[in-house]
Structure 1
Amino acid sequence: MNPILPLKHFVPDGEARQMPDGRLYRYGSYDISGETAYCSDRLHVFSTGDMMEWKDHGVVLCIEDIPWAAKGSMLYAPDCVYKDGKYYLYFCMNNAQEGVAVSDTPCGPFQDPVPVMYANGDSIDPAVLVDDDGQVYYFWGQFHLRGARMKKDMRTLDMETCRSCVLDEKNHGFHEGACIRKCRGKYYLLYTDTSRGRATCLSYAVSDRPLGPYRKGGMYGTDTCSRLG
């Protein structure tokens, strides 16, 4: 097995995005080599043009850049999207807050971090979709996945469109780590699944509309996350 990143870098909660420049960018939490704690107070971005050689763009956001972050907060599970010439990096912290920072490039640095307004309730693991018509959708949560349209400011949720249970543990085995994609007119949510008693497999659900309803399609990874990651 060939690691896609140098062995000194550890990037859990990975989110891969092909950006307008054609390169593939990997966003994710960042574990510091030699530390015993998971994740950290900073985020790195990596990119590749050939899936073989990867470039570390360094620290693109750190907790010190976020004046409203609670003391001792870490940064987790980011997602990044391109909209109208800007790149928006969404992230969560361990004080149940979610935020967004902006950059002119997909590799940052990301600046002016602000809270995502109304992203309440199990506020972890943001997942973002820019639909074909330009409408942005935002998903977040653990055990119950929430979703809503994003307003044009890219930081405020339209709560009139909010669904509090896009996916749940009972009907979909949903645990956390949602990822949203659109393919051939269908919307796919990928996530960690607890159907086998622990969140050690990956599943997907599909819908004709971004906010659902979603039907579970099945598992596409049934080994432990340490091997799938």
Structure 2
Amino acid sequence: MNKNVLLACVFVVCKSLCAQQQGIHPGEVWPDTKGNHIQAHGGGIIKVADTYYWYGEERAQGLDTGFRYVSGYSSKDLTHWTFMGDVLKLTDPENLGAHWILERPKVFYHKAAKKYVMYFHLDNHNYKFARVGVAVSDKPGGPFSYVKSFRPLGLESRDIGQFIDDDGTPYLIFESRPSKGFYIASLSADYREVDKQISFIHAPLEGGAIVHYKGLYYAIGSALTGWKPNPNKYATAASLAGPWSDFKDIAPPATNTYQSQSTLLLKVEGKDSTTVIFMADQWRPATQWDSRYLWMPVEMSGEKLWLPEPKPWKLNVKKGTWEYLEQK
């Protein structure tokens, strides 16, 4: 057999095996169903019917630098992901100039209107624009069409997060640097605006994520150290409006949250139990296409939340349970 043909066959087989890997392996290359490393950085996840949709920053090599891309993936089990394509391909929408920024896309599903509404951090190269952008699609796989940008509550907005409460109410989380903290704000009836402020958490943190679990709200954030990881922290409150407790470490501080930064707390409710997953990015700024994901179930008891040391694990979404994979 021709050497090049043999190498091509080996490559295809390797990609196929990678795509079939079992469980979730924090910090490792995470192949989609075609064997390509998932490109959904700084992302968020929603569930519509029995399907999960993961949206994030597309950071693959060879992209046209005149555009910014948001990729989309679908899954039934939160482990095996099918690439839906670049659901948003956007040229500079507000004349922001060279090196303009689109970060941390989050999508909400408006059930009544049957619309998918995307929010993202939109900025210029020196972070002075500080707004959210909004795009809309009729389908989860796009294409999303750009609608507008604005400053939520009239405030600067950088890192954004999303939270959907148990009653389905959607909230935007956004960090405002001049305020030295982050806001929780409800969305308008059409999901295309911020309706009102629910809470302001006075802590200089970004990468905000929230979950409601057994009667308590847990908020997580990371310090303002740019690409460099740091010890992420959490606070609790009986009400989304607060008051919020003091912030505490979610992992041993020396690990810098196992070299990751929070992006979402995902609650998986099954017939037997509920698992809350800490979703985070392990950024590699010099090789952004190779940035990794750290997903781990957190331990939660009363007002305590703890991120255990990352190890390979598997999830049963129907039961809402998880377990570590056997180490060979």
Q: Please tell me the TM-score bracket, short chain as reference.
A: 0.7 to 0.9
**Following the alignment from structure 1 to structure 2, what is the Cα–Cα distance between the partners of residues 214 and 106?**
35
Partner residue in 1 for 2:190: 153
Give a deviation string over 1:3-28, Cα, whole Å, max 9, x none: 333455443213233x1232222222
Question: Distance in 2 between the 1:10 and 1:135 partners?
Answer: 28
Are the structure 2 counterparts of residues 119 and 53 from structure 1 closer, same or farther at C-alpha, using a change threshold of 3 Å?
same
Question: Does the 8 Å contact 2:106/2:161 carry over to 1?
Answer: yes
* C-alpha separation in 1, matches of 2:79 and 2:168: 32
> 1:145 deviation in Å?
0.7
| Partners of 1:98 and 1:119 within 8 A in 2 | no
Shift of 1:68: 3.3
Using the TM superposition, give the Cα deviation of residue 185 of structure 1 relative to its aligned residue in structure 2, in angstroms.
Answer: 3.0
Q: Which residue of 1 aligns with 2:258?
A: 223
**In structure 2, C-alpha distance between the alignment counterparts of 1:14 and 1:30, rounded to whole Å:** 10
Helix, strand or coil: the match of 1:28?
A: strand
What is the 5 A alignment of 1:93-172? 93-95=122-124, 96-141=130-175, 142=177, 143-159=180-196, 161=197, 163=199, 165-169=200-204
Structure 1 distance, partners of 2:169, 2:80, is 34
Q: CA deviation at 1:184?
A: 2.8
Structure of greater Rg: 2
- Partners of 1:29 and 1:45 in 2: how far apart? 9
How far, CA to CA, are the matches of 1:91 and 1:27 in structure 2? 11
Q: Is 1:178 equivalent to 2:196 in the alignment?
A: no
> What SS does structure 2 have at the residue aligned with 1:168?
coil
Within the candidate set 120, 129, 152, 1:91 is matched to: 120
Contact conserved, 1:192 with 1:200, CA < 8 A, in 2? yes
User: What SS does structure 2 have at the residue aligned with 1:223?
Assistant: helix
Extract unaligned runs of 5+ from structure 2: 1-24, 125-129, 261-281, 283-291, 295-328
Hey, what's the Cα distance between the residues in 2 that align with 1:62 and 1:34? 14
Higher relative contact order (CA 8 A, sep 6+): 2
Q: CA deviation at 1:56?
A: 1.1
Find the partner of 2:239 among 205, 209, 212.
209
- Compute the TM-score of the two structures, normalised by the length of structure 2: 0.56
Q: Deviations over 1:146-170 (max 9, x none)?
A: 22222213233235x364x41413x
Q: TM-score, normalised by structure 1?
A: 0.77
Q: What is the count of residue pairs matched by the alignment?
A: 215
